[in-house]
Every structure is written in structure tokens, then in C-alpha cells.
A and B are shown apart, each in its own frame.
Chain A
Amino acid sequence: MTAFAVESSGLTKRFGRQVAVNAVDLAVPRGAVYGFLGPNGSGKTTTIRMLLGLIRPTTGGHALLGERMPGGAAAVLPRVGALVEGPGFHPYLSGMDNLRRLDAADRTASAATAEARIRAALDRVGLGAAAGKRFRAYSLGMRQRLALAGAMLAPRDLLILDEPTNGLDPQGTREVRALIGALAAEGATVLLSTHLLSEVEQVCSHVGVMHQGNLVAQSTLEELRAEAAPHAQVHTDRPADAARVLRELGLTEVTHDGAGATGLLGPVAPEKVVAALVHDGVPVRGFAVVAADLEEQFVALTGEGFDVSG
């Protein structure tokens, strides 16, 4: 048994001359809630489709729960629940009947327990009351919930969820995030693709950042936070002098503007900075130590903004 629930090496997909996914080495540890973060069009969904065997990698390979794919699909995919690029159901069947069909297609699922498992999955996503309604009458949020129920029809060791909170209202978003936490607490590994930074901050233990088909960062969330280097910010009416003092103290990347100066603290203690400023007679109107937040880090990694309202 390997330590990784998802492991890929050099996973690459080219569509014609366009490289959609470029040599991605994913490593999702067992038990992790892995935030697969990236702007729209960064190759997240293509990667997920490759992971699930829907499309063939141009080069590279991967394993799910220790089974090489796509050869091990029949053995491993029953233990993997998936939500890929939004819900997909027959519009003229009820939510319940749609799940019955999915369950009937699963050779490893027992017909005897089907009704109970379907009921439990529907209740878990809060769709119990709407189970008999036709799918076409569902709202976007209900459709998303039904897709999640489909991913939970059987006990899963790995859940691969592509943008699971898309289309949900704030209440639904909170419920789904709680659900993901509960699944992880039960021991499942969750790979969660999202373009919402707040989602990663709230539910994930690990994070991988995609940008233009490349995995530009991958670590635990804590490690990434630790990399966020603190800056010293001085408010003063003599910015140039303040900047000189900061440089003399050994701060790097020092800049100044009309309102003050800032610099990367590094190993220098903040109180030393204040003392040195006062000692040199630079009037200090305000002083702050500011750590870059995750959003700034991701913008630095990807050069693009994230929708953080989610």
C-alpha cells in the first residue's frame, strides 16, 4: 500500500499543438483533503479526466490508491467517487431513478442494498424530499447535490470532486464543505478542484496550484503559509531616510513612496527596526509587520487573480 491516494508522473495531455496539461506530478497523500487550485482553463478538469481514465494521457502515467491506471480501473474505480465538470443526469428521470441507474451500472454494487444506499446518499446531501422530482426540474444547486450523492453511493476511499460547490448558495456551500470535512474524517482522501481560494483555506490540508497546464506549487497548506514572508511597513513623512535605515539593517526588496517605506524583514526582528528608526531620528507615524496572504502568493504563482468571494 503506497502512501499516496493519487500519484502521477509526467502526466501530459496535448490536444493538437496545444498543451493542456504539462508534465504534472501530483502527489496526494492518503487521508489528505487536497485543494487542486487554479484559474479556469488551467488544466484542472483535463487532469481529472485523465486521472479517471476518461481521456488518455499523451505521455506520463498515474496510479489511484496504488493501482496503475487505466489498467486497474475495474478494480479501483468502484472505490473512487467522482464529480467531473458538473452534474450529468438524464433530464426526464427523477433524481432517485438517476441514482438507481448509476448503481445498476456498478458491477460491485449489491442490488439488495441499493435502495437503502441511494436513500442514505440523497439524505446526506439534503435531497431526500426532492428525490422523486424529475432532474430537469432541479435547480443548479440541487443538481450539484445529486452529483455529490452519486459520488457517495458506495463507501469510497477516494473522492475526486471537480468544483463541488459550483452553483450552490452560501448555505449549500457551507453544507457541502462540512460534508467534505465529514468524509475526510471518515478516512476518505479528497481531491477537490476549485478556483476558490477561500475553499482551499477552509477545508484543505494540502494544496496544488495549476497554472497554464503546469503544477506550479504543491505542498501542505501550512508549508505554503510559512513561506509567506513578512514585510515591515513604516509610515513616515521622510520615506527616503526610512528606506535607507531599512537597507542598513539588512532588509531586502526595500521600496519607498510618498507615505513611507517597506522591506522584506528576513531574520531581522521587527522591534530592532523601530529602535533603529527612532535612533536615526526618522519620525515613525506607524509601523506594521505584514505577511503576504495566500491570495497574494497565488497571484504571484499564477500571475492571475482568484475569485475569493466564494
Chain B
Amino acid sequence: MSAVEVAAVPATRGFTAPLRFLGSELSLIARRRRNQAGLAVLASVPIIVAIAVRVSNPTSSGSGDGGPEFLSSITGNGIFVALAALALELQLFLPIAVAAVAGDAIAGEANVGTLRYLLTVPVHRTRLLAVKYVGIVVGTFIATVTVAGTGVLAGLLLFGGGDVTLLSGTTIGMGEGLLRLLAICLYLTACLAALGAVGLFVSTLTEQPMGATIAIVMFNMISWILGLIPQIEWLHPYLLTHWWNSFGDLLRDPVAWDPLRNGLLSAAAYIVIFLSAAWARFGTRDVTS
């Protein structure tokens, strides 16, 4: 067999082969009990929120009561259960979900010894990072949509739907409200995907997935904490988490695009920097696991 013949094989199957490995990666993430349990926890928050509001304040007209954003609007329209849940889970629960999947990406494979076998298949290291990152992003989107979807279902069930009153006071139909919720999910996925890129990089540094996950969660928390210190306000726009809460701007009429655009630019910068770092680190690293 000649080398040319061998080299021609990937070219002819180049279309389906990458998707096959990606499919395998997604099913690996989806079939892990730990990830399934994590998703159930994420989904439990909007249910708890909906029930708590229903039980405590069944006749409230939705006047501000000092609680977290969106919580007071729930009784007016069930869709706000989804928004309240997203706001509540954005600081810790959603980042933990991203960190669990991202921390596992390379370190998990190294830890169980599958990394050396994937690389000798061979899977090119750049391709492995690409497939792993797409897996993280898809997982992030599913996590976000799970929170929002469960929130909408629980909210509609307990409070009903109808026209949505935006933060700016205008009213839109339920259909457009759901579309805006989907846009929020996409925006938050982009934000969390930046954390996922940090996570993928951290995951190339170690063979301990749990250690990588903890480091990613700490990175996230430090970013939130720094964001609370007014004395370093100059730093705030550059923090990973600074623009995340701007998702509420998608609920104004007209939409306040500036913070959203900044948020997406910030996420893109983090993604480029940390994916490059992961590539630089993992592309040449000796795999001794």
C-alpha cells in the first residue's frame, strides 16, 4: 500500500468523519450520569422558584418586593420564571455546569488513559481540541435552554402566559417574548462559552478533571468578586462576567444593544485568547498520562 493511497482515504470521507467523532463526544457528555444529575439540578431551580412564588404570594399583583430581578414580575406572566431562574443560576450553577464539562474535556481523558489512545488513533490534537470545545458549547447551550425551558413550562403551568410587559414598560406578544427568551439563551451561551474556553485551557494543564473544574469555578467566582469592588471599577469591563447580567437588555424596547455588543466582544476576546492558549499548550505537550 502506498502512502498516497492512505492519504487519500481521509479526503474521501472527510465530510462525515468529523461529525461522527463529534457525535461520539456529545453522546459521551450526554450519557454521563453526573451530567444528567447536574442538568436535573439546573432544572430544579425554576421549579422551586415557581412553586415558592405561587405558595407565598398567590394574589400579588407583581409590585417590587426587593427580590432578585424578574422575581416580582412572575405573577404577571409565567415566562418570568425562566428569566428569574437564569438570573439566579448565572453566578454559580450554570458556571459549575460549564466547568464540569470543560474541566473534564482533556484532563478527564488523560485521567482514565483514553487520551493516549485517541491520539494514536490518530486524532490530530487541534481536531481533538475543536471537537471538545464544540462539545462544551453545545453542552452550555443545552444547560441554558434547560433552565429557560423548564422555567417557561413551570411558569405557564402555575401563572399562565399572555402578553409580556417588558422592562421598559411596553408590551409584546407571547410569541415575541419566547423569541426574546431564545435570544437571551444564545447570548448567555456565548458568555458561558467564554468560561468554557478558559476551562478547556485549564483542562490541558492537568490530569485531574476535578481539580480543573474547581479551578474554573474559582476563576468565575473571582471575576464576580472583583466586579463587586468599586475601587477597581476601571477593571470591570474586562472581567469575564461583567456583561453577563446585561441579558436583561434584550427585554427593553428598543433593545439596548450597546452592552450586549460589548458582552459579545468580551466573550469573543476571551474565547480567542484561551483557545489559542489551549492550542499552544496542548499542541506540543508530551502526553505521559
Say what secondary structure dominates the interface of chain A. loop
Contact, CB under 8 Å: B3 / A104: no
CB contacts between A and B, total, < 8 Å: 108
- Chain B residue nearest to A104 in the complex (CB): B24
Find chain A residues with CB under 8 A from B24 CB. Answer: 100-101, 104-105
A84 at the interface (CB under 8 A from B): yes
Find chain A residues with CB under 8 A from B20 CB. Answer: 104, 111
Q: Closest Cβ of chain A: how far from B163's Cβ, in Å?
A: 47
Say what secondary structure dominates the interface of chain B. helix
Find chain A residues with CB under 8 A from B120 CB. Answer: 52-54, 77, 80, 82, 84
Q: Mark B113-142, 1 if CB is under 8 A from A, else 0.
A: 111111111111000000000000000000
Which residues of chain B (90-123) have a CB below 8 Å from chain A?
112-123
Which residues of chain B (1-34) have a CB below 8 Å from chain A?
1, 3, 6-7, 9-10, 13-14, 16-18, 20-21, 23-24, 28, 31-33
Contact, CB under 8 Å: A79 / B6: yes
Contact of A87 with B113 at beta-carbon distance under 8 Å, contacts A55-B287, A66-B3 already known = yes
A75 at the interface (CB under 8 A from B): yes
Which residues of chain A (63-88) have a CB below 8 Å from chain B?
66-67, 72-80, 82, 84-88
Contact, CB under 8 Å: A67 / B3: yes
- Chain A residue nearest to B115 in the complex (CB): A88
Which residues of chain A (100-148) have a CB below 8 Å from chain B?
100-102, 104-111
Contact, CB under 8 Å: B286 / A56: yes
Contact, CB under 8 Å: B288 / A55: yes
- Chain B residue nearest to A81 in the complex (CB): B120
Contact, CB under 8 Å: B288 / A105: no
Find chain B residues with CB under 8 A from A41 CB. Answer: none
- A52-B1 Cα distance, complex, nearest whole Å: 20
Contact, CB under 8 Å: A78 / B122: yes
Contact, CB under 8 Å: A77 / B121: yes
Find chain B residues with CB under 8 A from A79 CB. Answer: 1, 6
B57 at the interface (CB under 8 A from A): no
Contact, CB under 8 Å: B113 / A105: no
Contact, CB under 8 Å: A53 / B122: yes
Find chain A residues with CB under 8 A from B56 CB. Answer: none
- A85-B286 Cα distance, complex, nearest whole Å: 15
B231 at the interface (CB under 8 A from A): no
- Other A-B pairs beyond A73-B122, A107-B18, 18, CB < 8 Å: A49-B116, A52-B119, A67-B3, A77-B120, A78-B121, A79-B6, A82-B117, A82-B120, A90-B28, A91-B112, A100-B24, A101-B24, A102-B117, A105-B24, A108-B6, A108-B10, A109-B17, A111-B16
8 inter-chain pairs at a CB distance below 8 angstroms, sorted by A residue, are A75-B3, A75-B7, A78-B6, A78-B121, A79-B1, A104-B21, A106-B121, A108-B13
A residues contacting B by CB (< 8 A) are 49, 52-56, 66-67, 72-80, 82, 84-93, 100-102, 104-111, 150, 157
Closest 4 pairs (CB-CB, A-B): A88-B113, A55-B286, A104-B24, A77-B122
